[in-house]
A and B are shown apart, each in its own frame.
Chain A
Amino acid sequence: MIDVRLLVEPFSPNAFVGPFTNAHPGLGGVCTFVGEVRGEADVEMLELSHYEPMTLPGMETLADKAAARFDLMGLLIVHRAGQMEPGEPIVCVSAVAKHRRGAIDAVDFCMDHLKSAAWFWKREKRATGWTWIEPRSDDYADLARWQKTEPV
């Protein structure tokens, strides 16, 4: 089962991961990553904007690629848009496979692509106002790891 969601309200990762895992009897491994808004000194709010015609379709294409590349039984991607406070989940990726390696690599692959190759724009609010955030060079390097072996 491939399940891809773009949510504009706060969510509980467990509410998605539990049923998703249960839907795959006979699985060998499940790997789940949850990303939250980092609590930094004066960050008051994070905002993710998206573009309706492209963001969710792009995430669905990413999920299909990951499922095929890592031979998954199932893949769950939940991503927030809108305004979030520190401590709130932004993203949850969970992969189930017959063997651990595929599940672990698929989550890593999806996260690297969601960070710097999905249609989201991120800005944070500090006491001084809003600032747009671009991926760090490390994020691009992480993404490039997957392109060395096979274009996606």
Chain B
Amino acid sequence: MAVTIIYLGPLRDLAGTESTEIDAPLDWKALLDAVGPDVADQLLQDRVNIACGGKVLADKTALAAQDGDEIALLPPVSGG
């Protein structure tokens, strides 16, 4: 089993893919290693959020994803 990482908005372009699968469990350090330096640079900024299972993490460095979890990487939004 694995953790699915979803790249939203401009992070999709940066990653060159919409999603990837990484072996579980996945913590903050492992996530930074897994996504490559360009996306990792973005994740280190306060303006980029991370959601696990559809819920935004108050502290993204506390990420603790398990088998089957979906992690969304959320850059600044723009709608309307």
Contact = CB atoms under 8 A, between A and B. Distances in A.
Interface of A: 35, 48-49, 51, 53-54, 57, 79, 90-91, 111, 114-123, 132-135, 139
A51 B9 CA distance: 9
B51 interface: yes
Interface string B42-80: 000000000101100000000000000010101111111
6 tightest CB-CB pairs across the interface, nearest first? A121-B9, A120-B79, A53-B54, A115-B80, A122-B78, A132-B10
Interface of B: 6, 8-10, 12-13, 51, 53-54, 70, 72, 74-80
A59 B79 CA distance: 11
* B10, B12, B74, B78 — most chain A CB neighbours (10 Å): B78
B37 to A, nearest CB: 20
Max chain A C-beta neighbours (<10 A), residue from B9, B72, B80: B80
A121 B54 contact: no
5 contacts: A51-B72, A54-B54, A122-B79, A132-B9, A134-B78
B8 A51 contact: yes
Contacts of A120: 77-80
